Amino acid sequence: MSKAYLHHSFVYGHERTYSVVHVLLAVLYYKSGHYQAAIAHCKQVLNQTSREQYGVRSIGAKYLPQIDESVDAILGLILCYQYIERNALKSADQLESNNADLAAFTPKLLAHYLCSKCSTVVDAEGREDLTMYRQHLFHTRRLFVSDVLLFKTIETQLNKYTVMPFIEVSADDDGNSTSSSMDNSLLVTTLELVALEKLITYRQMMVRERHSDQFPVWNEFEALYAYKCGLFEECLEMCQRYLDTSLHRDCSKDHLPVGFPEMLTLLDGELVSFVGIIGLVSPLPLFVSLVQRSHSLRIFMRTLSLYLMVQCQKKLSIDLHDALQLIQLVHNATDEHFVLDRLLLKVIYRSLKMSINNLVIK
């Protein structure tokens, strides 16, 4: 998510912040083992003129993610110094004014550090980068203590031929196309999980207010969250518990409005495809009418819980024969007017039969 937002800032951000954005992206790519991409972003900073970098003098350590042990050690040393001085000086205001910039880095020098570290891993040219690093250090008018300590750290490491920790670089990680190394699927999944976490909290308040023995209510977002996280046993337990309490009770008030795209995207690919096929085979005016009246395009919680239960059983390799009878019971208990649910139950039944037959053949 951080990478996506930083790439987005190149389009809508201010040019004076580009060097900082490149350094932050270099840090993230360095941490994830995409060294070519990190070097490419460092080069963008190092190739900028002093005029282009005007206004960007430092990056505070508090705005940086954890980089590596060397940077952690330097920042720890600075914090230790500040602590000792804080107890030695009587005036805290004087301490804050004197040490305000101690835990900060010059963007260009931090880019040199990252470039030297990555080059050592990729093509063993760290010493050549170190020469340029030293020159820029000497010509920087305003140095921070952390800049000097960071340079001395990597200089010592290279002089001692310290073996750099190697992380395999992705084959499709091209330094000329840094955006290609972004895992968009991981970003989408993360956003979905964040949305589900918010919905869980909201739904939990409704559960407390409406739940009763006669009208059981469950938090479907908890089950969806567990399913997307791969916690299939936990999801299975929640679904079975809800089905046990709702099978012979009226649960027609609880449903998931899949007519809303925001809700549809929280489901898995099979359910999304199912709703999409319904849209393709239905007459267009009818489907548009259903979408506009999104309460009509819905899946009831009992059907959703049964679907998730069967999916979890498949992934956990649990005996599926008992689920066939349960599907038939839910189908008989579902009103004929709930067309979408009855179709989905038939799909679940068919999918379950195919899985059982495949197991028998094997």
pLDDT tens, residue order, the chain (362 aa): 788 788 877 777 677 778 888 888 999 998 888 888 888 888 888 887 655 555 567 888 888 888 888 888 888 888 888 778 777 765 555 555 555 556 788 888 888 888 888 877 655 555 667 778 888 888 887 788 888 888 888 888 776 644 444 444 444 444 444 444 455 777 778 888 888 888 898 888 888 887 776 677 788 899 999 999 889 999 999 999 888 887 777 666 677 887 777 788 888 888 888 888 877 776 555 545 555 544 457 888 888 999 999 999 888 888 888 888 888 888 887 777 777 888 888 988 888 888 888 776 65
Picking from 304, 308, 314, the residue whose alpha carbon sits closest to that of residue 234 is: 308
Place of tokens 């027609």: 252
Picking from 149, 114, 135, the residue whose alpha carbon sits closest to that of residue 32 is: 114
Summary count for the chain: helices (H), strands (E): 17, 4
- pLDDT for position 217: 77
| Orientation angle between helical segments 321-333 and 339-361, nearest 10 degrees | 170
- Hey, how many other C-beta atoms are within 10 angstroms of the C-beta on 135? 11
- pLDDT for position 290: 52
- Written as one letter, the residue type at 28 is L
Quickly list DSSP for 71-122: HHHHHHHHHHHHHHHHHH-S-HHHHHHHSTTSSEE-HHHHHHHHHHHHHHHH
d(CA 124, CA 150): 19
The domain limits of the chain are 2-182, 185-361
- pLDDT for position 233: 92
- pLDDT for position 144: 83
- pLDDT for position 93: 53
- Hey, how many other C-beta atoms are within 10 angstroms of the C-beta on 169? 17
The helix or strand, by DSSP H or E, that contains position 302, with its residue range, turns out to be helix 301-315
- Residue 255 is classified by DSSP as E
- pLDDT for position 227: 92
d(CA 261, CA 284): 17
Specify whether the CB–CB gap between 50 and 136 falls below 8 A. Answer: no
Task: Say whether pTM exceeds 0.95.
Answer: no
Place of tokens 């599926």: 320
d(CA 315, CA 156): 52
- pLDDT for position 59: 84
d(CA 23, CA 280): 47
